[in-house]
């Protein structure tokens, strides 16, 4: 998809810090870290939002999320939990219209994030 920033990241045209990658999914650090380790999980196929997933793509992406979440958690013993967030549509605060799941590690009750 032309002019999609995440398609360009997937194609390697824009640099990113890769956390996980296979033939159909990529996970990379969010450029704006809500907490350290904040990661975005995206399907390599361009779909704008959750409403465009078919069953196979949903299975592919959702199947990988626990493994990626566990790898992030295991990378830092200070991580106590994790928020997984998926915004769909501008009204729901989606700003990049290539579907993605935020994996946001939580370190303490004092994390400045709700
Ligand atoms: P949304 O608001 O759509 O749920 O989340 C989009 C996320 O993409 C934001 O957290 C934003 O920081 C991140 N983001 C936007 N542009 C880039 C970029 O060029 N590289 C990376 N790694 N993250 C980006
Ligand atoms: Zn895209």
ipTM confidence: 0.99
pLDDT tens for residues 37-92? 999 999 999 999 999 999 999 999 999 999 999 999 999 999 999 999 999 999 99
Which residues fall within 8 angstroms of residue 46, CB to CB, at 6 or more apart?
A: 1, 4, 6, 7, 98
CA angle 6, 69, 75 (to 5 degrees): 105
Residue to substitute in 89, 95, 113 for testing ligand 1 pocket (most ligand atoms within 8 angstroms of CB): 95
Expressed in angstroms and rounded, the spacing between residue 105 Cα and the centre of ligand 1 is 16
Q: How confident is the model at residue 2 (pLDDT cuts 50, 70, 90)?
A: confident
Helix (H/G/I), strand (E/B), else coil: 46: coil
What is the C-alpha to C-alpha distance for residues 108 and 13, in angstroms, rounded to an integer?
Answer: 36
Give yes or no for residue 93 CB within 6 A of ligand 1.
Answer: yes
Expressed in angstroms and rounded, the spacing between residue 51 Cα and the centre of ligand 1 is 19
Q: Which amino acids are annotated catalytic?
A: 100
List, in order of start, the domains of the chain with CATH numbers: 5-106 (3.30.428.10)
Q: Where are the alpha helices (DSSP H) in the chain?
A: 5-10, 55-74
* Both tokens assigned to 79: 């991580």
């Amino acid at each position: 998809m032309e002019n999609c920033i995440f398609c360009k990241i997937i194609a390697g045209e824009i640099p990113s810090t890769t956390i996980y990658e296979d033939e159909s999914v990529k996970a990379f650090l969010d450029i704006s870290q809500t907490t350290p380790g904040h990661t975005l999980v995206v399907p390599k196929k361009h779909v704008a939002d959750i409403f465009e997933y078919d069953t196979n793509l949903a299975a592919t992406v959702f199947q990988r999320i626990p493994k990626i979440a566990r790898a992030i958690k295991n990378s830092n013993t200070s991580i106590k939990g994790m928020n997984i967030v998926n915004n769909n549509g501008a009204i729901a605060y989606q700003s990049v219209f290539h579907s993605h799941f935020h994996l946001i590690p939580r370190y303490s009750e004092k994390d400045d994030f709700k």
